[in-house]
Structure 1
């Protein structure tokens, strides 16, 4: 997908009412001649403000806000149904929801709130919108912004974090499960690129939203010298979303590492369809770790678990 050469594009931003998602939506609006942008989030006031900003940035584009509590899979389904009614194809699914939770907090659906935001809700958006992504005229792209390169040891008995939970455990499981799922999905849907990105330290409201104004402000000041602005993050994310360096598995052709233009996938294959990237678009895959999980069939086991969760919460036809 080389969106910078395309006059039109349909994009869905999940968690797009602040921070990285908002900045990326605005950067995309300035990049594409006539985009259609959907902002999915809980805050209707923030959504309305962003729609006004998008219209100002690109009067030729259209944008719409879809209110949704992304921590509830039933609301995710309702949001996806609304998108499917309006769009036959989807070019970009960009997801950023989540916060820095220090304690376990289960939703009414029986899953930890932040684990849903980081993993299950994002996978449900992908699952529901796969037909629209597959129908895109040019190869579509799925981007989940979380913690690529921060993977670690996880156990299949604790995928849902109900056996053992801590702040560090939740971070590791979210990162690792996302990377494994992206690799699995890329093998099953070779016409779509799946990308997991670590955004770096970005100057967003995340710290104050997660830890309160005082502590969040102190942490923000402490990391300021190593951080990047929301605008720069948005521009970098649009570059990742539009670069030809990350083709789907079915479009990589006979690319070799000598070509330089095509990235290495999480499987170690040039142009393999699943990419674990730093904020600057460089590969951060721990190939040894990912191979170890692959050898134990973890990508498949994880996706089977994910579908089981969907069926348990949403019914046997989920």
Structure 2
């Protein structure tokens, strides 16, 4: 485990010269994304952060932006409204950012929740949590890769479940539409594997970009209360139990933010960033170079070699083709 002291020491070196000067946070209105934005702004570095969120989050987020401005007057927080579960809106948001910026240093993707209730679909026909946790994220990456390539140390972080991939997925039903294939657990395990499969393919095609699939561990993000059918008594019981466990055994909001700032800036992942004197991370192919890093809640790389090898051999081609075909109308 990378100790919290080591992480704090590394983050203390983030300054105007070493910070990701331009970042895009999708999911930064709450949870891990919000905690990481606060940690980044608290470094005092001169940064521009695009904070993407839906209209219903705008009012409470204004107070958060004011808080960040008080913490760091050099932090330029750009509120960017959009419904990121809709791929057409993702495209619109990306076009706005591409018009304003010539480069992006960090793309941080954390929107999503576990769908504990009945299946819900977007107006585009995608299961809601899958759109947030997979298709939307991959579309953001594909749109913004040209700007990421202009950075000296570009990094993409998808926060979900890196290292938890299972070797068997529903490759012939990637969207889990067939009867009996969809549930909260099945959905999450499917979307975790899809993230890693497609991110690894993107990493191989873009060797100058470091990709991280992060497992955040136990953090109270409010997600224990999301995804349930309205009025569910089970939801209240589940939230009470899970949030109690997190209180005693999980990370605080501050530590979660610091750990993800470390993932966003340290040369432990790919060799570019804040100098790191500890053990270098290895990517999903077992190499200490840019690629896809599966990073657990301890900030350690977990290549998950057995499962990833089987997914790579059996399913990566089919999933990559399916994903590109589905996203093509929005590129």
TM-score for the superposition, normalised by structure 1? 0.89
User: What is the aligned partner in structure 2 of residue 75 from structure 1?
Assistant: 89
In 2, the alpha carbon distance for the partners of 1:210 and 1:158 equals 22
Q: 1:32/1:243 Cα in 2 relative to 1: closer, same or farther (>3 Å)?
A: farther
Question: SS at the partner of 2:210?
Answer: strand
Contact kept in structure 2, 1:266 and 1:272, CA below 8 Å: no
The alpha-carbon deviation at position 50 of structure 1 amounts to: 2.0
In 1, the alpha carbon distance for the partners of 2:75 and 2:292 equals 30
The alpha-carbon deviation at position 114 of structure 1 amounts to: 0.3
The alpha-carbon deviation at position 70 of structure 1 amounts to: 1.0
In 2, the alpha carbon distance for the partners of 1:299 and 1:32 equals 41
**Count of matched residue positions in the alignment of Structure 1 and Structure 2:** 303
User: What is the aligned partner in structure 1 of residue 6 from structure 2?
Assistant: none
Matched, 1:263 2:277: no
In 1, the alpha carbon distance for the partners of 2:169 and 2:140 equals 23
Matched, 1:13 2:31: no
Range that drifts further, 34-43 or 287-296: 287-296
User: What is the aligned partner in structure 1 of residue 308 from structure 2?
Assistant: 290
User: What is the aligned partner in structure 2 of residue 306 from structure 1?
Assistant: 323
Q: 1:32/1:87 Cα in 2 relative to 1: closer, same or farther (>3 Å)?
A: farther
Contact kept in structure 2, 1:91 and 1:133, CA below 8 Å: yes
User: What is the aligned partner in structure 1 of residue 106 from structure 2?
Assistant: 92
Please list every run of 5 or more consecutive structure 2 residues that lacks an aligned counterpart in the other structure: 1-10, 229-234
Matched, 1:31 2:43: yes
Please list every run of 5 or more consecutive structure 1 residues that lacks an aligned counterpart in the other structure: 252-258
Deviation readout 1:228-281 (Å, 9 max, x if unpaired):
111110000001111101117xx7xxxxxxx96421111122224110011221
Q: 1:222/1:262 Cα in 2 relative to 1: closer, same or farther (>3 Å)?
A: closer
TM-score for the superposition, normalised by structure 2? 0.86
In 1, the alpha carbon distance for the partners of 2:299 and 2:51 equals 24
The structure 2 residue matched to 1:278, chosen from 296, 303, 316, is 296
Range that drifts further, 66-75 or 42-51: 42-51
Contact kept in structure 1, 2:26 and 2:110, CA below 8 Å: yes
In 1, the alpha carbon distance for the partners of 2:23 and 2:246 equals 31
In 2, the alpha carbon distance for the partners of 1:216 and 1:79 equals 33
Matched, 1:141 2:155: yes
Structure number with the bigger relative contact order (C-alpha 8 A, sep ≥ 6) is 2
Deviation readout 1:32-85 (Å, 9 max, x if unpaired):
510001110111113212211221111012111111111100111111111111
Instruction: Give the root-mean-square deviation of aligned CA atoms.
Output: 2.0
